Amino acid sequence: YKRGLFSIQDYSSMQCVLALAPQENEKILDICSAPGGKSIFISQLMNNKGSLLSMDISQNKLNLLDEQVKRLDINIVTTKVNDATIFNENYVEQFDRILADVPCSGLGILRRKPEIRYKNFEDIEKIISIQKTILFNCSSYLKKGGRLVYSTCTLGKEENIDIVNDFINKNKNFKLIYTKEYYPHIDNTDGFFVCVIEK
């Protein structure tokens, strides 16, 4: 591990990266990247060729990604502190593929973080608003013909398919390719939602 020969990630988390299907020499954005496991997997599938911008609102969490990038000798990852809810016109149609693994209620990871059951979910509407904003911003950053993956580690339809359907209904230049849900009691993974959209 210390020699950078492997890294560890839950099966369900890997599925959103496989759905993204990153290719060599592409320009890719991981907009909510910390602590960075998915960014690492993306760069590995790119064979360390191309450009990956990994952003997060927390510098401390990005520091963890920087450590992993160094350990694994990856040189295509650039990290940047960024609030994904704030639109950046400099990124409009700049990326071939975008991963939006958005903040969520986290109900899909109860088996690893049982304290989540004690969270106050009165703010769920606020979370949904954040998710919608991030998805909209990412859609503008995607090149024509590009692929966007929206994912969460929760299973409530309000944070998943409802948001996707609302987006597709309002953005006719995007096509829903597929959605997939992973359940702990069926798939022996974290609870996870993956959606592939193309422009």
Active site amino acids: 153
158 vs 162: CA distance, rounded Å: 5
- For the beta sheet containing 50-56, the strands, ordered from the edge strand earlier in sequence to the opposite edge, are 77-81, 50-56, 26-30, 95-101, 142-152, 192-198, 175-182
Helix 59-71 / helix 37-45 crossing angle, nearest 10 deg: 40
Q: Which residues contact 123 (CB under 8 A, 6 or more apart)?
A: none
